Structure 1
Amino acid sequence: MSDYALIFGTSPLVSLGITLVLGGGCAVMTGRALALNWRPDWQLVVYALLLGVADRFLIFALFQGELLSLSGYFADALALVLIAATAFKATRALQMVRQYPWLYRRRGFLSWEKIGG
């Protein structure tokens, strides 16, 4: 068993594929949905941690990975939190500029600024 498998409970290809492709897509949709419904950003962490549980289960059920790998769960959950937070901030920035064009303008991909101030 490789060092990676000992730490993360599965192979790198499985971990990246399930976590980034499948879980990452779900995290993007979660971040966007929370932003579009004007939910607070702390809810994002709760949902992303639950996605991490689902991610661990899929790795276990489909690829015989280790289900109770704590380090694997934390790595997967951290990646999903970061992906969901990026989608949340990008959507919220676009939302603020579109809904209040007389007050705000875009300042980069993830932020906005007040016009004239």
Structure 2
Amino acid sequence: MDQNALLGSSPLVFLLFTVVMVGWAAFMTGNALASTWRPMIQTVPYGILTGLANRFFVFALFGGELLSVTGFLIDTTILIGISLLAYRMTQARKMVGQYPWLYERTGLLGWREKGKG
């Protein structure tokens, strides 16, 4: 199977437009959801909407395949993953920032109670 048929667009469009440009929007979505203390599960419907918008823009701007199911699934999975990563990064930063007497950072994505571990 051809990569263009699998992605619904060229690999360059996938990398530069979907991963970089729309990925930035997905990152900001995850950041906004975590900043407003929304549940993590909300990244999924927003990721699906972002994936639909991405598929339309790839079709309209770059002549990609509009109804590419595999392209939509791959794009949406990556965009949801980016949103989840941003959500967790922001949540860890906020937990330590707002409750410094209770928590300390354990890396980019985690925190723990002070005095434990």
Map of 1:103 onto structure 2:
102
CA positional deviation for 1:73? 0.3
Q: How does 1:1-117 map to 2 (within 5 A)?
A: 3-117=2-116
Structure 1 residue ranges without an equivalent (≥5) = none
1:65 alignment partner, SS class: coil
Paired with 1:52 and 1:83, the residues of 2 have a C-alpha distance of 12
Runs of 4+ in 1 over 6 A off after TM superposition: none
Residues 53-75 of structure 1 show CA distances to partners (whole Å, capped at 9, x for unaligned) of: 01100100001100010000000
Name the TM-score, length of structure 2 as normaliser.
0.96
TM-score by length of structure 1 reads 0.96
Give CA-to-partner distance per residue, 1:63-91, whole Å, 9 cap, x none.
11000100000000011011111111000
Q: Percent identity?
A: 49
Letter paired with 2:58? I
Answer with 71-80 or 17-26: which moved more: 17-26
Distance, in Å, in 2 between the alignment partners of 1:10 and 1:49 is 18
Deviation at 1:22, TM superposition (A): 1.3
Give the drift of 1:8.
1.3
Aligned residues: 116
Q: Distance in 2 between matches of 1:83 and 1:30?
A: 9
User: Which amino acid is the alignment partner of residue 77 of structure 1?
Assistant: T
CA RMSD of aligned residues (A): 1.0
